[in-house]
Amino acid sequence: MLRSDIGMIIKPRWVRSWLPIVLVFALCPNVSATKYAGEFLRLGMGARPWALGGAYVALVSDATSVYWNPANLAFVKQKNIAIMHSETFGSLLNYDAVTVALPSSRSTARMSIGFGLFRLGGGGIKLTALANPSLPISDSNRVLAVGETGHSDWALYASVGREVSSRINAGASVKIIYRDLVDVTAIGFGIDAGVSYRPHPWWNTSIMVNDLTTTLLVYNNGTKESINPRMSLGFSFTPRWNQVAVTLVADGVLEFEGRRVASQFYQGPISLDVRWGTEVLYRNRLALRGGMNAENPTLGIGIMVGDFTVDGAWRGHDAFSDSYRFSISHSW
C-alpha cells in the first residue's frame, strides 16, 4: 500500500491525533491490575461536574481540567483557581482538592499549565489489642480499644494543555500518589493524557485516558498494587439563545478490571458506565443542573458573581447516605 493511500485512510487530522492514544489503550487490558486500587482517583473534582452526573471530560474549560482532561487547559484564558470540599456517604469520608491553571503568554498557540492537590481522608478507625498480649484471647483476656486513627490518600498533579490546531487540543498530567493506611504507606507515579476536538463553538468531543502506562503503588511492607488504565469518551453540546444557554453532556467510561456487577454493562473484563447531565444557564449568572452517574441521580446549582463562581451538588445513593459537594472558583 502506498503512503498516500495510508494518509487517505487515517484522515482527517483529528483521527490521526487520537489514533496513538487509542492504540496504546487497546493494549492495556493485557496488563494485570489490582481491582479498585485506584478508586481514590475516580472521585472527580468540582461540584459542577458532580451535578452533571460526572460527565465532564469534553465540557471542562477551567482549572479542574488538571483532573478531567488536561487537553482542555488550552481553553483557559485567565488565571484560574478552584477549591472543593466534599462529604461522601454522609461524613464518612472527606474529600478536598485545589487546582490552579496558568495560561502561557509566551507560546504562539494557546497553552496553559496546571497543578492540583487532592486528599481523601477519614477517621474513626479503632485500634485494638488484647488485655494481655502474651495470652490467647479468652473471656478473661478480651480485645480492648486502645486508640483511634485515620487514613488518607494524597495526589499531586502537574499538567499541560496545548492547542495543536484550531480545532484540536492535546494535554497530559503527571501525578504522584501517597497513601497512608493506618500502619502502612505507599507511593506511586502515574500519567494521564487527553485529546479534544472542537469542530464548532457549540460542541466538543474528547478522549481521556487515566493511568496511561498503568500506575504502580509500592507499599513500605513490600506489597505492590497496579492501577489499570481507564478510558473516558465525552461529548458536550451547548447552544445559546440570547441570555440562555443549555448544555447537554454525556460520557462513557470504560474500565478493564472485571468489575461486572459493580458496573452498568460488562463483557468479560471490560465494563462500561454511562454518565450524562444537562445544565440551564441564565445570563451567565445562575445555573441549574441535573444528571445521572450510572444509576445514581445528581442535582446542583451554580451562582456566578463577578470573577467568582460558587457551585453545590447532591448525589443520591441506594445503599449509602447521600453525598454533597461544594466548590468555588476564581479567575483573574
Query: What CATH number does the domain containing 154 carry?
Result: 2.40.160.40
The predicted structure's pLDDT at residue 105: 81
In a domain, 231, yes or no: yes
Q: What is the pLDDT of residue 144?
A: 73
Q: Is 257 domain-assigned?
A: yes
The answer to whether residue 276 is domain-embedded is yes
SS3 at position 161 = strand
| Residue 317 reports pLDDT greater than 80 | no
- Domain of 257, in residue numbers: 7-331
Report pLDDT for 319.
64
Tally the domains of the chain: 1
pTM of the model: 0.81
Q: What percent of the residues of the chain are helix, what percent strand, and what percent coil, each to the nearest 5? A: 15, 55, 30
Q: Where is 68: in which H helix or E strand?
A: helix 65-68
Domain membership flag for residue 261: yes
Query: Does residue 2 lie within any of the structural domains?
Result: no
Q: What is the mean pLDDT of the chain?
A: 85
Do the domain assignments include residue 1?
A: no
What was the pLDDT predicted at 292?
95
Strand-pairing partners, residue 218, are 187, 224
- Predicted confidence at residue 40, as pLDDT, reads 85
pLDDT at 145 over 80: no
Average pLDDT over residues 150-176: 93
Q: What is the pLDDT of residues 90-139, one digit of tens each?
A: 556 788 999 999 998 877 889 999 999 999 987 656 666 777 777 788 87
d(CA 72, CA 118): 19
Q: 74 φ, ψ to 5°?
A: -65, -20
The pLDDT of 221-242, averaged and rounded, is 93
Report pLDDT digits (tens) over 71-93. 999 999 999 999 998 876 555 67
